[in-house]
């Protein structure tokens, strides 16, 4: 079976994360929900947060169908008190966090000269400050479990991409936060790594940077000639949080079908056409 036809299935042992708790910021949709679903199918209990309680409730139903115990409490990662309350609720119902996934993020395409001061700050606040808030608040729980953190970043953290003057610095900051925490929290047994997804199909992130009509153009520029799938990010996260990765910390794992090898030139020309054709959402 080719990788592109592979179904959402476990290759790792089904009980790998039994007795473990995963907390995912932005876990109500997309890649982050894909990660939560992978851990649920490997036996973990799942905590999720996001701003929309309705979205979290829908996600929680699906996670429970996979057999997971779930805590789903709305919280904006920019507001430490909200996040603290969500993590307290999770701790009280499903136990201390073994794995924290910092996945909440915001994105839109905009020319640097049109990016408002608040637009820049908003993305820095959600992606970078939100990742620090989550890590800082989860620390006491992670210290008790000798757990690990996965930060979800993006190619923009390492390569400049047009119309991403807010996302690039935000995600680059998250990459450095990951390394700082790996350094400081390693002595507590806490590991800290990041995942850099490439273009992942059927996600809000893709819908914000391209139209479906352009999907073929994207695929032509990816060496593996397909987009990634959310469960493939989930499987990589499961690996990084498993005993297989017990000595891995401070590392960034690209999961992009080799897309970064060709740089951001294609993204830049595609984005110019998409931005010119789209109305602001
Ligand atoms: C220009 C925009 C804009 C747009 C918002 N702003 N959308 N500027 N173009 N399309 C500006 C607003 O005018 C405002 O500035 C400031 O940003 C804050 O906007 P709000 O709507 O008040 O912010 P908020 O309600 O907090 O929402 C945050 C958001 C929103 C990021 C703007 O889009 C959101 O909630 N996104 C979450 C979902 C998401 O983005 N998912 C994709 C993640 S993918 P002013 O100056 O007017 O006050 C990703 C990487 C993908 O992160 C990588 C792909 C390879
Ligand atoms: P998504 O479904 O929009 O995921 C973002 C999630 O974050 C949503 O569930 C959203 O829920 C939540 N969120 C946003 N702002 C928040 C806030 N202030 N507080 C709490 N939660 C917040 O998009 P996605 O494409 O799957 O992206 C998921 C992650 O992958 C992001 O970190 C993104 O940068 C990264 N990524 C995506 C791609 C891709 O191809 N899609 C590529 C590279 C990296 P609410 O709106 O309910 O809050």
Q: Which two tokens stand for residue 221?
A: 């520029």
Element (H, E) at 148: strand 148-152
Ligand lying closest to the C-alpha of residue 227: 2
The Å distance, Cα 81 to ligand 2 centre, comes to 20
Tens digit of each residue's pLDDT (9 = 90 or more) over 94-153: 999 999 999 999 999 999 999 999 999 999 999 999 999 999 999 999 999 999 999 999
Question: Would you say the C-alpha torsion 155, 159, 163, 168 has a positive or negative sign?
Answer: positive
Give ligand 1 pocket residues (Cβ under 6 A): 105-108, 110, 116, 118-119, 122-123, 154, 167, 199, 204-205, 208-209, 280-281
Return the CATH architecture of domain 21-207+228-259: 3-Layer(aba) Sandwich (3.40)
Whether the pTM exceeds 0.95: the reply is yes
In which band, very low, low, confident or very high, does the pLDDT at 4 lie, cut at 50, 70 and 90? very low
Tell me the three state secondary structure of residue 76.
coil
In which band, very low, low, confident or very high, does the pLDDT at 70 lie, cut at 50, 70 and 90? very high
User: What is the C-alpha to C-alpha distance for residues 275 and 164, in angstroms, rounded to an integer?
Assistant: 12
Instruction: Give the pLDDT mean for 176-183.
Output: 99
Tens digit of each residue's pLDDT (9 = 90 or more) over 189-244: 999 999 999 999 999 999 999 988 888 888 999 999 999 999 999 999 999 999 99
User: What is the C-alpha to C-alpha distance for residues 224 and 221, in angstroms, rounded to an integer?
Assistant: 9
**How much is the pLDDT for 38?**
97
Element (H, E) at 55: helix 53-65
User: What is the C-alpha to C-alpha distance for residues 93 and 91, in angstroms, rounded to an integer?
Assistant: 6
**How much is the pLDDT for 68?**
98
Strands across the sheet with 70-72, in order?
A: 70-72, 45-49, 21-25, 99-102, 148-152, 191-197, 252-255
């Amino acid at each position: 079976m080719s990788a592109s036809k592979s179904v959402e299935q476990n290759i790792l042992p089904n009980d790998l994360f039994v007795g473990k708790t995963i907390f995912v910021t932005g876990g109500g949709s997309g890649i982050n929900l894909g990660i939560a679903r992978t851990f649920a199918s490997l036996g973990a209990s799942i905590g999720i947060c996001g701003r929309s309680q309705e979205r979290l409730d829908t996600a929680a139903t699906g996670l429970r169908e996979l057999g997971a115990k779930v805590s789903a409490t709305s919280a904006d990662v920019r507001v430490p008190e909200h996040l603290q309350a969500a993590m307290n609720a999770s701790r009280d119902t499903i136990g201390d966090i073994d794995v924290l996934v910092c996945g909440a993020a915001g994105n839109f395409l905009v020319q640097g000269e049109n990016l408002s001061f608040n637009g820049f700050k908003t993305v820095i606040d959600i992606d970078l400050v939100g990742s620090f808030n989550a890590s800082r608040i989860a620390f006491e729980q992670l210290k008790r479990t000798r757990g690990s953190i996965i930060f979800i970043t993006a190619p923009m953290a390492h390569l400049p991409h047009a119309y991403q003057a807010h996302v690039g610095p935000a995600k680059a900051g998250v990459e450095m936060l990951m390394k700082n925490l790996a350094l400081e929290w390693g002595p507590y047994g806490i590991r800290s790594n990041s995942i850099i997804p490439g273009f992942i199909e059927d996600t809000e992130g893709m819908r914000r940077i391209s139209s479906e009509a352009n999907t073929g153009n994207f695929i032509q520029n990816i060496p593996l000639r397909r987009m990634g799938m959310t469960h493939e990010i989930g499987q990589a996260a499961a690996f990084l949080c498993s005993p297989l990765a017990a000595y891995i910390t401070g590392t960034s794992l690209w999961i992009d079908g080799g897309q970064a090898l060709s740089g951001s030139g294609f993204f830049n020309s595609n984005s110019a056409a998409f931005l010119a054709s789209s109305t602001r959402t």
